[in-house]
Structure 1
Amino acid sequence: MMLIIIGVLLVVFWKQHKEKELSKTPLPTSLHEIIVGKRDLLVSQALDKGIQVVIIEGFRSVEEQDALYNKGRTEEGAIVTHAKGGESYHNYGLAIDFALLNNSGTTIWDMEYDGNENGRSDWMEVVDIAKSLGFEWGGDWANFKDYPHLQMDFGLSIAELQKGKRP
């Protein structure tokens, strides 16, 4: 019985030690290398279909996230995010936001635009490519639709990332 108690105590101690070590893991400062590769594939595969994708956001610092969160709350403008600093996959280099370039070279967020004139929304064609590359699309979310947002969580929750786990 004493050995079981010692064993349980050792497991608890080891878990606490691991969590303490994880909490010291620094935040990333750029996009994860896999996201960079998938982003580049997304842009290339869309271009092959006659769609010009513009990546308007990638890695975002906690401070940048907080500033964005303040829009529509303590600062003028519309609310654009529900995530505070440290609560977005952008803060861990695991998300990108995109827009399209129309035929006159203007950046647009028009989800109905069909610049390649194939009868399908260019936006949704990009979303399909992104999903085939393993991205999750913010337009599929139930609570808050974030149509330009693409992310890969690698099976990690925000809480796990905040504790220091990394893909």
Structure 2
Amino acid sequence: MPSEKHLLPLPTGLNPMVNEATNQLIQQSAKKGITVVITDGFRSAEDQDQLYQKGRTTAGTIVTNARGGESYHNYGLAVDFALKTSSGNVIWDRNYDGNQNGIPDWNEVVAIAKNLGFQWGGDWAQFKDYPHLQMDFDLTLADLQNGKRPPETSLK
């Protein structure tokens, strides 16, 4: 019987590869005249549960269907983004074209993100999550919940 693999503990921050890709996303977007703001990254299970309550048992609109442990944010594998306008406002306007090249800035950021290996929540069939970017490293949430973890080496 093969020896049982040692399972890594829950992360406490972004996976280094996700962090590096996020930094590249910000830099590559800036070269196109787009300022990307990361509005959320790693989220603890407790924070996730609080977010899940929004629009259910606390005031506000429902923003997630994921409870603690059910989001790639909880494993350091996801970030949410917004755009910053030249006047300094943080916006989630998917039609905004601040660099005035005829292409919505949001679409440009998503294209860069996908090129860096992110999956985009806007491509999901249900509960589209337009600010959400994640790298799952071919691990399902069940894999992550069962203690499997992605590599932590840097991108090359």
What TM-score results when the alignment is normalised by the length of structure 2? 0.93
Question: 1:71 and 2:57 equivalent?
Answer: no
Q: CA–CA distance in 2 between the matches of 1:132 and 1:123?
A: 14
Equivalent residue in structure 1 for 2:4, among 18, 23, 29: 18
SS in 1 for 2:24: helix
Greater relative contact order (Cα < 8 A, sep 6+) = 2
Which structure 1 residue ranges, 4+ long, deviate > 3 Å from structure 2? none
In angstroms, what is the RMSD of aligned CA positions? 1.1
| Richer in helix (by share) | 1
* Structure with greater Cα Rg: 1
Report the AA paired with residue 159 of structure 1: A
Q: CA–CA distance in 1 between the matches of 2:117 and 2:39?
A: 19
What TM-score results when the alignment is normalised by the length of structure 1? 0.87
Equivalent residue in structure 2 for 1:155, among 107, 113, 138: 138
How far is 1:46 from its partner? 0.2
Name 1:6's counterpart in structure 2. none
Q: CA–CA distance in 2 between the matches of 1:87 and 1:56?
A: 19
State the aligned residue count: 150
Q: Percent of aligned positions with the same letter in both sequences?
A: 63
Equivalent residue in structure 2 for 1:105, among 88, 91, 98: 88
How far is 1:18 from its partner? 2.5
Question: 1:115 and 2:98 equivalent?
Answer: yes
How far is 1:103 from its partner? 1.5
Deviation string, structure 1 residues 32-78 (Cα, Å, up to 9, x no partner) = 00011100000000000000000010000000000000001111110
Q: CA–CA distance in 2 between the matches of 1:18 and 1:160?
A: 15
